[in-house]
């Protein structure tokens, strides 16, 4: 008999006797799977309109040390990126093809590694910044939803020391449940192999619980939202 069948056999045998539902002090309450629409009444509150969600995202960003900038229009992506590149003395950057990145990244005028057709890990490691798009911004938690399709693969947003995200206001969603809806609508059940919520720059508290940014991932996270 295979280990799979052995394990499943033991599980089925074990489950023949029912277990009480937690939180009912031994009487048999009923467990139910709550619809994700219900979560929003318990989780931290989020406003309904875009303006309040942008506000909340900005407030969360400040707490998380994400550098969040609201821009007036798409035309500002290029000059703001150029400014950032100059301030930080970037020598080379990495990015991927996309409507927003194609518009803005060439304007920096730096050697650019593109991940679309594969890349050398060591070459990417040498880049000063990874510039990506994303699938959504999550107001409730200050998170950025990326997938391996929307953000140029798995490593582009974590290997270079500075991650820059280009995004539009229309991509704001209230909470994580709504973010999953975005993924489902885009991909049906052909999910990308990698989906991630990025919430602030990489961090650790492993030494005396003191916060240090840039543990292994980016030290800085900048979001330009138009």
Partner 1 sequence: MNTPVEQFREDATRVAADEQHRRLIQGALGKYYVARDRQVGRFQDWQSARQAAAETKWEAVNHLDQHLVSFAEKLEARGGKVFWANNSAEARDYILKICREKKARCIVKSKAMTAEEIHLNAALEKDGYEVVESDLGEYIVQLRKEAPYHFVFPAMHLSRGDIRELFDREIGNVKSDNPEDLTMVARRVLRKKYCEADIGISGANFAIAETGMISITENEGNARLTTSLPRVHIAVMGIEKVLPRLEDLALFLPMLGTAGAGQAITCYNSMIGGPRQPGECDGPEEFHVVLLDNHRTRLLADPEQRDALHCIRCGACLNVCPIFKNIGGHSYGTTYQGPIGSVITPHFRGLQDWKHLSNASSLCGACTSACPVKIDIHHHLLHNRRNAATQKPRWWEKLAYKIAAGVLNWPEFYAFATAVGRVMQKFHPLVKGSVLDPARAWTKTRELPQVAPQSFRDYWRARERKP
Among positions 121-180, residues that touch partner 1 (CB under 8 A) are 121-122, 125, 140-143, 148-149, 152-155, 158-159, 175-177, 179-180
State which residue, 20 or 111, has the beta carbon closest to partner 1.
Answer: 20
3-class DSSP assignment, residue 125: helix
Considering only residues 63 through 82, tell me which ones interact with partner 1, judged by CB under 8 A.
none
Tell me which of 55, 83, 102, 116 binds partner 1, using CB under 8 A.
116
Which listed range, 69-77, 85-93, 105-113, 193-201, lies at the site for partner 1 (CB under 8 A)?
193-201
Residue 117 C-beta: closest distance to partner 1, Å: 7
Q: Which span sits near partner 1 by CB under 8 A: 38-46, 84-92, 128-136, 165-173?
A: 38-46
Residue 98 sits in the site that holds partner 1 (CB under 8 A): no
Look up residue 31 and give its two tokens. 């467990």
Q: Does 192 bind partner 1 (CB under 8 A)?
A: yes
Q: Comparing C-alpha atoms, which of 144, 117, 136, 133 is closest to residue 60?
A: 144
Q: How many CB atoms lie within 10 A of CB 162?
A: 22
12 binds partner 1 (CB under 8 A): yes
Q: Which is nearer to partner 1, 10 or 86 (CB)?
A: 10
Question: Is there a contact between 148 and 194 (Cβ–Cβ < 8 Å)?
Answer: yes
Instruction: Give yes or no for a contact between 108 and 164, defined as CB atoms under 8 angstroms apart.
Output: no
Euclidean distance between CA atoms 178 and 118, whole angstroms: 31
CA 106 to chain centre: 24
Query: What is the Cα gyration radius of the chain?
Result: 22
């Amino acid at each position: 008999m295979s280990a799979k069948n052995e394990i499943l056999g033991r599980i089925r045998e074990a489950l023949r006797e029912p277990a009480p539902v937690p939180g009912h002090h031994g009487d048999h309450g009923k467990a139910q799977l709550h619809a994700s629409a219900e979560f929003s009444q318990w989780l931290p509150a989020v406003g309904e309109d875009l303006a309040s969600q942008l506000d909340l995202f900005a407030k969360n960003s400040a707490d998380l040390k994400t550098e969040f900038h609201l821009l007036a229009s798409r035309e500002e992506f290029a000059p703001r990126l150029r400014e950032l590149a100059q301030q930080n003395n970037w020598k080379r950057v990495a990015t991927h093809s996309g409507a927003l990145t194609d518009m803005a990244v060439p304007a920096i005028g730096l050697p650019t590694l593109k991940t679309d057709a594969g890349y050398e890990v060591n070459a990417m490691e040498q880049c000063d910044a990874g510039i990506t798009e994303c699938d959504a911004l999550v107001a409730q938690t200050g998170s950025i939803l990326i997938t391996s399709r929307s953000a140029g693969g798995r490593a582009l947003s974590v290997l270079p020391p500075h991650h820059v995200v280009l995004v539009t206001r229309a991509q704001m969603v209230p909470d994580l449940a709504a973010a999953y809806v975005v993924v489902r609508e885009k991909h049906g059940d052909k999910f990308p192999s990698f989906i991630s919520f990025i919430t602030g720059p990489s961090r650790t508290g492993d030494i005396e619980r003191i916060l240090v940014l840039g543990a292994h991932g980016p030290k800085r996270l900048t979001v330009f939202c138009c």
